[in-house]
């Protein structure tokens, strides 16, 4: 006896949920200059000071760790689609970011920083 007529749906749902829980590694040809970023929020997560910043003219929220090298972890995007994605541009941080619950915590903090920046900028 099988698992039921909805088994493929359940499997796809679990797979999608698992994909949301891991960061997406992205290789970039040109890095972003941390000095050009405008800070919009800050938090502490797993012993690291995380700073959220924007690059004027770019619809991304950059995530940096100013106390480490390389300072840029990556960026969050998809705020307008309600599907927030975390993209890692520096693979040096992938082991830390993939720790238990860190992706969810980073996404939550990024969303809060983005919402606060929108409130402050738009009034």
- Could you tell me if residue 15 is inside a domain? no
What's the mean pLDDT in 84-112? 88
Q: Under DSSP, is residue 92 helix (H, G, I), strand (E, B) or coil?
A: helix
Q: Is residue 49 part of a domain?
A: yes
The answer to whether residue 18 sits within a structural domain is no
Can you give the pLDDT at residue 93? 86
**pLDDT reported for residue 1:** 37
The predicted-structure confidence for 46-93, as pLDDT tens digits, reads as follows 889 999 998 887 778 999 998 888 888 889 988 888 788 888 888 888
Residues near 94 by beta carbon (within 8 Å), at least 6 away in sequence: 23, 25, 88
Euclidean distance between CA atoms 92 and 3, whole angstroms: 41
Residue-wise pLDDT for 6-60, tens only, equals 667 777 788 777 777 776 666 654 567 788 888 999 999 988 999 999 888 777 8
Residue 112 falls within a domain, yes or no? yes
Residue 12 in any domain: the answer is no
The structural domain count of the chain equals 1
Asked if 37 and 64 touch (Cβ cutoff 8 Å), the reply is yes
Domain enclosing residue 64, as ranges: 23-122
* Residue 108 belongs to some domain of the structure: yes
- Let me know if residue 97 belongs to a domain: yes
Whether residue 10 is contained in a domain is answered as no
């Amino acid at each position: 006896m099988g698992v039921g007529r909805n088994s493929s749906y359940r499997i796809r749902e679990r797979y999608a949920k698992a994909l949301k829980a891991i960061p997406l590694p992205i290789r970039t040809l040109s890095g972003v200059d941390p000095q050009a970023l405008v800070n919009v929020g800050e938090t502490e997560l797993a012993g690291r000071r995380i700073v959220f910043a924007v690059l004027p003219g770019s619809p991304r929220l950059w995530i940096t760790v100013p106390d480490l090298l390389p300072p840029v972890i990556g960026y969050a995007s998809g705020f307008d689609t309600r599907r927030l994605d975390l993209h890692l541009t520096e693979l040096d941080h992938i082991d830390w970011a993939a720790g238990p619950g860190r992706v969810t915590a980073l996404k939550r903090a990024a969303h809060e920083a983005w919402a606060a920046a929108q409130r402050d900028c738009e009034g």
